[in-house]
Structure 1
Amino acid sequence: MAIVKVMMMQKNEGPRLARWLTHYGQIFGMENLLIFDNGSSDKFTISLLNEAEYRGAHVRRDLNRPVDFQMKGQHYNNVIASLDHDEEYDFALPVDCDETLCVFTEGGLSLDARDIHAEFERLKSYRGAFSIGLSLFNVPNREGWYAPNRFFPKGFVPARCGARIDNGHHFPTSSEVPESFLTRFTYLHNHHRPYREMIRNARAKLALEVENVTDKELLREHARRALPGGHLVHLLLGTQADYYTMYKNEVQLYFQGNDVLLQEPGKKNVRYWDAKRYRECHPDTVVYEAGLLSHYLTYGAPEGRELP
């Protein structure tokens, strides 16, 4: 079984940290979790960190400045260099506290540890960086439903490859192989929170990157250049109504660890995902490396392909 070192930086994430610990600890083992605390003051969060440390997780508390969060990629690079020297492991996986790793399977989507480890085993021989091409963002005010974000790639790296991790871990690199390899992984990205909390968090994060968060032109330029935090700009430029309807024109997926339900934009009916019938209707999709459901969410839905 592959040894995966999971790295994450957080501050006061409480309930999200609890979900993160139970998911990644169960799949990879607490001893393989490396948590960077960025100065938490919330009692529940601190309690979780203490318990995780007691159970074998590695918790660092020295990186507690806002600038440390801004340069977390460099901190990850330093840790990976140490791991390469001192540890036997197979992959380094940088994640955010609101990201839950799952994998596209032959039939659909899975959170099961066996399916996730099977994908890591498949990737062991490749020495380039790995790409997670699609993320599934939670739909505001619709519990259990997600929508695809096709322009928010993430990635991870094999051990001892001369890795470099960027601050958002969107485009990690390997010094051995320049090309990245598309995996079958995806994230359930529970990014969206109640509107006022989202606005408050977006302002706080963008204040570290933009001189004046009330200047709409500065914000637009920041987003246009895809700078850190640029994916939050739309929150400050839009309205509450915009926030709660942001995915009205997008296919949405319901997934709670079992089968997948889909709802196409503008339609009231919900469809049960059937990989076999999708393959029969669209035989060209069998060559898509990341799986049939990934193909539908990435290409099929935007192309208007029939959902059988």
Structure 2
Amino acid sequence: MNIAILMMQKNENELLKKWITYHSYLVGSSNLFIFDNGSTNNQVIEQLTNFENKEVNVLWDFNKKSDYEQRGSIFCDKIKSLDKEDFYDFYMVIDCDEFLGTVDEEGNICFDPLSLEYSLLNYQSNNELLMIDSQYYNSSISPFWFNKQPYRKCFFKKNTIAKLDQGFHHGQVTTSDKEIRTNLVHIHFHNKPYEIAKTHAKEKLTGRVSNFNLDYLKNYNGKGFHLVRFFLQTEEEYIQNQVTLNHIKSMSLYHKLKQLNLDWPFSSTINETREKLGLTDDDDSFEKVLPKFRGSIDYIAFEGEYLKIRGWGLVNYSRPIRYIFLQLTNRSRFRFEIIERVIREDVNEMLNVRGGALGFSARLKRSDLEDLTDVTASTAIVTFLNSECAYFKFDMQKKHKEFNYFSPNNLAG
């Protein structure tokens, strides 16, 4: 499988080498297409020249501000041109602060070429617009904690692209008017160190805003308006706005970069910020650390020859649960068969997640429970996580916890 990655950047001195080295490992250096948008930093220019000598495709002609504003169209034209060569199977369009990965069925993030290729095999026959599952925003005070955002980004199968917007959020394909969410993800270094982020924001807003007067910026809502926040808050407020969000822990990319002899981006500044703000322990710095598993059983009853349950569950704040068991006090377990998966809009709204059929209906044969007694049976309904080698209990209302598994006449509880 051949995968092309297209990226436009300007003066990304801290991230560029790491981005190219990592994505060269992922898809091969000759499959990277770097559009330089007029870098003036000598180190960046030197890095690009060095990588160009190592088969990375560097395109120097798109160096105007207007090219950045039109990068969606520029990338679309390039992909159509590459399609004529009939070499690439998929095209990724990402930014220099985004690192491509995959997420497995239990929500664990992986950064490996085989995992990427295996994931994309599932979409070779799809005609829809392909969507990134989500983005994991980094923390500017830790390399291990991330805030998951159901953020829109798209990519393309060969011979399908029709249109692409400037931010790669919306695209069109010639083969369908629908889209499908995949298991590809980005680690997004959205939260750069405060001063660096502010400098980059000013560079990107120059030409879009008429001035940097604070009263003017407060009311600005044009292109790049999300960058205005760097001029309206202190560093302490910037950090506080991060740590109050939901966070999950992952060390996958940290170890992958280490394996590639790369430091974590902005690592020295991270340490300086932590010291300045008196932060010593990662686990104590974040206010909302998400559990590995969340789920609830909403219904339980005998229906004919089956014990039926309905509920919802997800693991690692990302994926629907795969296994459900009735757990006995003697540690033996009966596995439920999941017969239907449904989208639970109430759960999605509560958890701020998008897509994914987190709801389910499941059943267990009544005959499997015939030998149970009130000594051996438990009301615990659990799920199993392979990555944790552990069982986790579903939440249940009191009336469901008191469900009588031994009564053949027990109906809806």
Settle same-fold status: TM greater than 0.5. yes
Matches within 5 A, 1:218-233: 219-222=218-221, 227-233=222-228
Q: How does 1:238-253 map to 2 (within 5 A)?
A: 238-253=233-248
Alignment of 1:24-39 (within 5 A): 24-39=23-38
User: Quick one: which of 262, 266, 269 aligns to 2:287?
Assistant: 266
Query: Structure 1's 20 and 73: CA in aligned 2 closer, same or farther, altered over 3 A?
Result: same
Q: Would you say the 8 A contact 1:134–1:298 is kept in 2?
A: no
- Which of 308, 314, 319 is the aligned partner of 1:291? 319
Structure 1, unmatched stretches of 5+, are none
**Is residue 128–residue 176 contact of structure 2 (8 Å, CA) maintained in 1?**
yes
Contact 2:143 2:251 in 1 (8 A): no
Aligned-pair CA distance for 1:87: 3.3
May I ask how many residue pairs the two structures share in their alignment? 291
What does residue 198 of structure 1 align with? 197
The residue that corresponds to 2:95 in the other structure is: 96
Give yes or no for contact 2:130–2:155 (8 Å, CA) kept in 1: yes
Counterparts of 1:1-308 in structure 2 under 5 Å? Answer: 1=1, 3-107=2-106, 108-150=108-150, 152-214=151-213, 216=215, 219-222=218-221, 227-257=222-252, 266=287, 273=292, 284-285=312-313, 291-292=319-320, 301-302=351-352
Structure 1 residue 73 displacement after superposition: 0.9
Q: Secondary structure at the match of 1:284?
A: strand
8 Å CA contact 1:148, 1:298 repeated in 2:
no
Instruction: Work out whether residues 128 and 177 of structure 2, in 8 Å CA contact, stay in contact via their aligned partners in 1.
Output: yes
Deviations 1:17-43 (A, max 9, x none): 111111111111111110101122323
TM-score (norm 1): 0.82
Bigger relative CO (Cα 8 Å, ≥ 6 apart): 1
1:119, distance to aligned residue in structure 2 (A): 1.1
Q: Which has the higher strand share?
A: 2
SS in 1 for 2:175: coil
Letter in 1 for 2:162: A
**Fraction of identical pairs, as percent:** 25
Residues 97/37 of structure 1: CA separation in 2 closer, same or farther (3 Å cut): same
CA distance in 1, matches of 2:184, 2:47: 27
RMSD after superposition:
3.3
Instruction: Give the SS at the match of 1:20.
Output: helix
Query: For 1:167-209, what per-residue CA distance to the aligned partner results, in whole angstroms no more than 9, with x for missing partners?
Result: 1101121122111110111111112222122112212212222
Q: CA deviation at 1:213?
A: 3.3
Flag the 1:266–1:58 CA change in 2: closer, same or farther, 3 A: closer
Give me the whole-angstrom Cα distance separating, in 2, the residues matched to 1:262 and 1:158: 40
TM-score calculated relative to the size of structure 2: 0.63
Matched residues in 2 for 1:221 and 1:11: separation? 24
Q: Which has the larger radius of gyration?
A: 2
SS in 2 for 1:101: strand
CA shift in 2, pair 1:27/1:258, >3 Å: closer
